[in-house]
Structure 1
């Protein structure tokens, strides 16, 4: 019915050809249709359709009357099974930790990984439950309409809240297992308060950081305007554009999407047709170029624009280097203030997304590890031997990394066989002949973790003793070792009776072996061992050989295939016919390192320093954590690696015999493109795509030339201020006058410094360091030509953009 109403909206508009829409119209699809309407029919005719769409939306929303009632909140049945099973599986990691098989951080990571996977699977189960049983539920309609809400909020409502964040972004390993429908316990309410507090703190405090970044971008870009149609021969090179990929090779932004709205910088051969240079790339042409040139092409860019490289009069870019106006789908107009648009486009997502934590309540969200799970139960069969080796995978799990691709067959009891293909580099978590349960994890990638909004933070971890005793070590393998501490407190000694009971459960008993039987040894002090395929008993009496001083490693073997398990590791203190006294041992898994204590046999007390190790702990990588990284690139912090690469690249080209101009320009452009890609990746990790041209406008303003001591003779010319930082074109222009080659090197300065060294003094003085800027301007007798937007507003003059710029074109030419 909605499709009929919606298509009638287009049919009733006589100015458009009628066409029928037969697809689910969420926010993204509606955006695509609006863009298509604007490009095909223009803004005026598309505006009439949008008016009808707005009226249709209001009318249908009033008649629908969608609301939420308690009866609409029905959790899927699998929730009651899945959540307790995950809790038991995570609880099992504590036993491995106490045995010294896991470090504390690996135990925490396994807990985080297990609950994160559980919430993802539960989210999929909720979607499947709605699609199959309750499609017209108000919750389903609202959450999946694309207008408001998402699956994360629905999961908290009817599934589980899951893992939470503390105020500094660290993940709390204890999840909230309840949903809002059933209510939270007191403990869960306190844990939930962490996330709520983080949302309030981020909204109140972190929004200021995003706003300050926007202000700095505005100041550095406020005078960047479209000045002319073509910048001439200086901007002919362009930038190389290809698919934007992450470190693992996954395509984040396609070449087709990046090419849309750009202008070609070189002729392109398409069949028998040649696309000349300076051709606008529309939707159709972008699709063809991406198909014929998958490795990328050169396009015009603000980074290589001749105007931005060093025009002495006014800052700006040309039409062809900028490309389309993204709001109109056509070539940008002369006089357009593209700098202000770029600054707002980069700063606005940071301002808005700081409140994302507030809306989701501090719940961890993202994408789970790349894993493969079994679709059903069966026996695992590998048809052939597989080359590889054992590795310690994510969270301390022992896996088998594949050197070549392999095939796994899971044979079900009903005779059905399922084949799985694993590529090279995958870590297998199962063995040949192992029984596989439904949804059991079969393999995972070798990467430690690949979460969209979860990062890793490197930090040292201090290892200290939790109790007193004697310290000694036992090597597990060539990479790890166990530090064991014998506790001498008499309260930590355990006593076991020496009479062991053997109970057999089965239909057959004898002195022969039989496959498929299960033996269970039962005693109140021991655990159970079952599920043995074969077991052989050749004697009626089983003896345990124990001696005082012997280390009991949680089990004692005597006879063939017999294992008795104790609750704790320990050293046998005394032994008699009536009892065995075992001294408790605590163990810590530590790597072989010079930072771990090697003084064994000494008596230690609680809190004794044993060593230090470095680990990576997961933290929430939302926009709040990404903003300082983005700011560090824009401000060109000294610890950023691109500074060293810029200098090394410049002097490498000089040693190869290239000119100073070519070396400086090549090093600058490669570094600017590196910064563009790094900032783009930080935003894409948050699910935000910012057009490359906006970031390119920023980096074009922060790449300059720094004169060395020999080159400072240029400042002796009749200029208003010492030319310490200039552009390459200015250096070429001045050297042609004084007939000498200045010595300089390329540098990347921050946006704050770039705003303060702009021509004039009104703009920098209104930004920051007002007294310093005005004092320097007064001493040096500086002039301000009032070319920027801020200067015009301060003096109450019309800003020189848009139609006013067209009327003042003669003034710009004279300048």
Structure 2
């Protein structure tokens, strides 16, 4: 372009020698070209983002501090990879989709990822603080300009509380400080708050509101200004940490002395034989835990004296009060490598310094922490891989599947009834399954099919509505993938999710990414020895793998009343299949909880003129008792003729009689008894006479999701799994949107096991995909046959991944040799519906932005795309993912070969597979803009197509210079060009 080099080789040499001309040309080239930055490990999609670069001196990359959170980067020598997008489409996608200003919200929770941190928080906190008795306090000013003039003149301090007229309102006074006025100048007018102390949470909420009301562009400008203000005032504040800032509380010595006396007394009691060693240990630990709690209270009182440390912890910039307690008061109790609490606490604080013994006691925890981190990273990565594998084919493929079903959402509380997630937080961005009306006025707040936005969610909560039904990935009826309405708003954009979005992969990354933050420990409970409660990452893994939990609870299988049998009371014999034969059978007693259900039902009897009643209203009768006798005239008629004489009517059941028109009814109860054997160590949660519901816990422990599915059904199982996963993450302070967990669980519950085959060709006990099961049943019902029945099956993510239809995806996951052998033996066909199988054979993935008008506008692609059928907006034509599957004959060429887009082991399909799969489309063209052409169709081309074809051809020539072209691909391209000319 510049004429400085004669050929590519000499140009390359100039670049390698870093001649001065290179920098001038580079400056010119990068004006319109973004670069992509990636930091390993890329745990979620925001690990790679695009930026418009600025050339700087030196070899270090200079990165905006606010995007560091998304990359999990810090300024201590982190390495990042820089990629330059080359093609026009790649540049367009980087600029319109991957630019950091378009990725401000977390895909996992929808919260802002670019919220201020560290020094910015500290500066804003310092700026908006108030200080008692500050210079000029109590003054009254006409407007903000007067306040700032007074501050500049030294009449006021930054933190002086003053009164000033509200902007544009001469009769309204607001109480504020010069610092708060300065801070609010950078905010949009509608979001200015002059009475708020800006700590980390307040800043995060502010960014969220700015984004929701003003969008990307304004938010990035506001954030930049907040960053400048924060850095400036963090510098001006002069906040530092000195060792003398940390003051040991004067009350400490007295509290420690009291505790020492208590522990000495315990030691004496133990030596005298009054208490056991275990009792001594438990009581000593409780004493020191109480001391630790008192130290917390003492530190709270003295915190404001801690200067910069207090400001940092209280603002949320760095550190917390627990860490300050260790620095100033005492470290407290430590655990040994086995996880048992060491009876001897660390009485010293870091300010005072630890003794040698205390130092060695504290090394246990530090070493275990480092070992845990290494193990946790590997476990978390493996969980993410399994989650991605099970959900990789969940792509948004439809606008609306048309279902009227949904899941019931309510506020989430912990087992101690502490509010974890309010209702409004859980329903924002979901689509209402039905109209939501105010319970008192009847006014409709949200109509069916509408997205619940923030104002409506607040109105629903204010109306006192405690639960409602919303559309969910769990109840989506799309035959494959998921529909926009069931998914709702994308947390990453705050808009309705786009067609072609790979929501399954996003869900897996959102759950697996924070996995490293979860504690990897099993806690010993204080009462019962030997009972472990699995928590943290192992608990998440246990839930997603659908394993029976350790120490699982017994749950009631029917509604009824409880009868607890005491030890030694014989209620029945139990025969074990695997017990060896013995001459004298030993008798052992197993504790048992019996649930007795009395289900009311009504037995009806028609009484005609041939009978007279033998019972009265309300009379109790027993089974077999006469309730109606033959009438006298009817009996005589029977004697005088050959007609059969009527006989007495007998009660079939025991119960109370009700006389009704045309007969009588007996109200009776059907009794059902279920015995639940419990371990001697299990803590029973019910007593004799208690009424229980099916699914209620009878003993302490964790419910088994397989038991819930069998007893309570699918909706209860789905709800339980979502709540349990959320509880683990929320307890660690990690926020994940429910719909990500629901997306994974929908894949775990997509299988059914055939119960009764009816008139279908299915096999008894066969495991089959729910969508296929429904389509087979619909076909049989249409033909007038009897449909099959089935039971839902819960499968863990590993087993669900190995049950997928794609043998390529299965083989790339686990058990490669077995999967490929079975695929070859059974002649499996892979229809390339997921992401992995397309990547493996080098096709474009089916998750694409260009399948919706919104996506095409983002990519700068023409609104009207050329189509095989001529319908430019037809999603099926573009994706080739949703049509009926023709027989393989339709795909074969004259020689009986299938096109290269179908990866097959055999050229035949079972009858069951027909009508269940997709049209296959060629994708040999490198040009993203062109619609993939069906294998058996020739499309007429326009002038625009020819131009784009020439561009694609040029690109192919460049590619051929650096690689070997596929001969089959070249032939196909030539065939297409011949067809176009014809």
Q: TM-score, normalised by structure 1?
A: 0.60
**1:247 matches 2:415:** yes
Q: Shift in Å at residue 100 of structure 1?
A: 5.6
Count of aligned residue pairs for this structure pair: 536
The DSSP-based 3-state class of the residue aligned with 1:677 is helix
Unaligned runs of 5+ in 1: 358-452, 459-613, 657-662
Other-structure match for 1:140: 310
Select the residue among 791, 796, 799 that pairs with 2:842. 796
8 Å Cα contact 1:217/1:343 also seen in 2: yes
8 Å Cα contact 2:501/2:849 also seen in 1: no
- Residues 732, 170 of structure 1: CA spacing in aligned structure 2 closer, same or farther, 3 A cutoff? same
How far apart, CA to CA, are the structure 1 residues paired with 2:273 and 2:530?
19
How far apart, CA to CA, are the structure 1 residues paired with 2:810 and 2:373?
29
Per mean C-alpha deviation after superposition, the further-off stretch among 97-106 and 29-38 is 97-106
Select the residue among 210, 230, 234 that pairs with 1:37. 210
Other-structure match for 2:127: 2
8 Å Cα contact 1:633/1:640 also seen in 2: no
8 Å Cα contact 2:498/2:849 also seen in 1: no
Other-structure match for 2:476: 305
- Residues 241, 61 of structure 1: CA spacing in aligned structure 2 closer, same or farther, 3 A cutoff? same
Other-structure match for 2:539: 629
The DSSP-based 3-state class of the residue aligned with 1:247 is coil
- Residues 27, 327 of structure 1: CA spacing in aligned structure 2 closer, same or farther, 3 A cutoff? farther
How far apart, CA to CA, are the structure 1 residues paired with 2:447 and 2:389?
37
Select the residue among 707, 716, 724 that pairs with 2:766. 724
How far apart, CA to CA, are the structure 2 residues paired with 1:318 and 1:789?
17
**1:331 matches 2:496:** yes
The DSSP-based 3-state class of the residue aligned with 1:60 is helix
Other-structure match for 1:286: 457
8 Å Cα contact 2:540/2:728 also seen in 1: yes
Other-structure match for 1:59: 232
The DSSP-based 3-state class of the residue aligned with 1:263 is coil
How far apart, CA to CA, are the structure 2 residues paired with 1:644 and 1:797?
50
Q: Shift in Å at residue 664 of structure 1?
A: 8.8
8 Å Cα contact 2:759/2:787 also seen in 1: no
Residue by residue over 1:427-470, the C-alpha shift from the partner in whole angstroms, topping out at 9 and shown as x without a partner, is xxxxxxxxxxxxxxxxxxxxxxxxxx994348xxxxxxxxxxxx
The DSSP-based 3-state class of the residue aligned with 1:615 is coil
Other-structure match for 1:530: none
How far apart, CA to CA, are the structure 1 residues paired with 2:369 and 2:786?
60
Other-structure match for 1:456: 524
Other-structure match for 1:813: 882
8 Å Cα contact 1:10/1:49 also seen in 2: no
CA RMSD of aligned residues (A): 3.5
**1:748 matches 2:918:** no
- Residues 691, 120 of structure 1: CA spacing in aligned structure 2 closer, same or farther, 3 A cutoff? farther
Please show how residues 223-302 of structure 1 align to structure 2 within 5 Å. Answer: 223-233=393-403, 236-270=404-438, 271-274=441-444, 275-302=446-473
Q: Shift in Å at residue 104 of structure 1?
A: 3.9
Residue by residue over 1:404-425, the C-alpha shift from the partner in whole angstroms, topping out at 9 and shown as x without a partner, is xxxxxxxxxxxxxxxxxxxxxx
Please show how residues 751-770 of structure 1 align to structure 2 within 5 Å. Answer: 751-770=797-816
8 Å Cα contact 2:239/2:308 also seen in 1: yes
Q: Shift in Å at residue 272 of structure 1?
A: 4.5
Select the residue among 720, 733, 743 that pairs with 1:697. 743
- Residues 192, 759 of structure 1: CA spacing in aligned structure 2 closer, same or farther, 3 A cutoff? same
Other-structure match for 1:321: 486
Please show how residues 122-141 of structure 1 align to structure 2 within 5 Å. Answer: 122-131=295-304, 133-134=305-306, 137-141=307-311
Q: Shift in Å at residue 185 of structure 1?
A: 1.2
Other-structure match for 1:73: 246
8 Å Cα contact 1:665/1:728 also seen in 2: no
Other-structure match for 2:509: 344
Q: Shift in Å at residue 728 of structure 1?
A: 3.4
8 Å Cα contact 1:647/1:746 also seen in 2: no
Select the residue among 7, 11, 30 that pairs with 2:185. 11
Select the residue among 98, 110, 124 that pairs with 2:283. 110
Residue by residue over 1:497-524, the C-alpha shift from the partner in whole angstroms, topping out at 9 and shown as x without a partner, is xxxxxxxxxxxxxxxxxxxxxxxxxxxx
Q: Shift in Å at residue 798 of structure 1?
A: 2.6
How far apart, CA to CA, are the structure 2 residues paired with 1:618 and 1:646?
22
Q: Shift in Å at residue 802 of structure 1?
A: 4.1
Q: Shift in Å at residue 647 of structure 1?
A: 9.3
Other-structure match for 1:584: none
8 Å Cα contact 1:712/1:723 also seen in 2: no
8 Å Cα contact 1:646/1:671 also seen in 2: no
Q: Shift in Å at residue 327 of structure 1?
A: 2.8
Q: Shift in Å at residue 641 of structure 1?
A: 9.3
Q: Shift in Å at residue 126 of structure 1?
A: 1.5
Unaligned runs of 5+ in 2: 1-125, 129-177, 560-596, 602-708, 857-874, 884-917, 919-982
The DSSP-based 3-state class of the residue aligned with 2:298 is helix
8 Å Cα contact 1:241/1:298 also seen in 2: yes
How far apart, CA to CA, are the structure 2 residues paired with 1:729 and 1:641?
35
Q: Shift in Å at residue 705 of structure 1?
A: 4.0
Residue by residue over 1:272-329, the C-alpha shift from the partner in whole angstroms, topping out at 9 and shown as x without a partner, is 522321222222221221233443111111111112xxx1xx3x22222222222333
Please show how residues 467-482 of structure 1 align to structure 2 within 5 Å. Answer: none
How far apart, CA to CA, are the structure 2 residues paired with 1:279 and 1:96?
69
Please show how residues 392-791 of structure 1 align to structure 2 within 5 Å. Answer: 455-457=523-525, 615-616=528-529, 625-639=535-549, 667-708=713-754, 711=757, 724-738=766-780, 739-791=785-837
8 Å Cα contact 2:413/2:419 also seen in 1: yes
| Bigger share in strand | 1
Q: Shift in Å at residue 196 of structure 1?
A: 1.0
How far apart, CA to CA, are the structure 1 residues paired with 2:758 and 2:748?
21
Larger radius of gyration: 2
How far apart, CA to CA, are the structure 2 residues paired with 1:712 and 1:178?
75
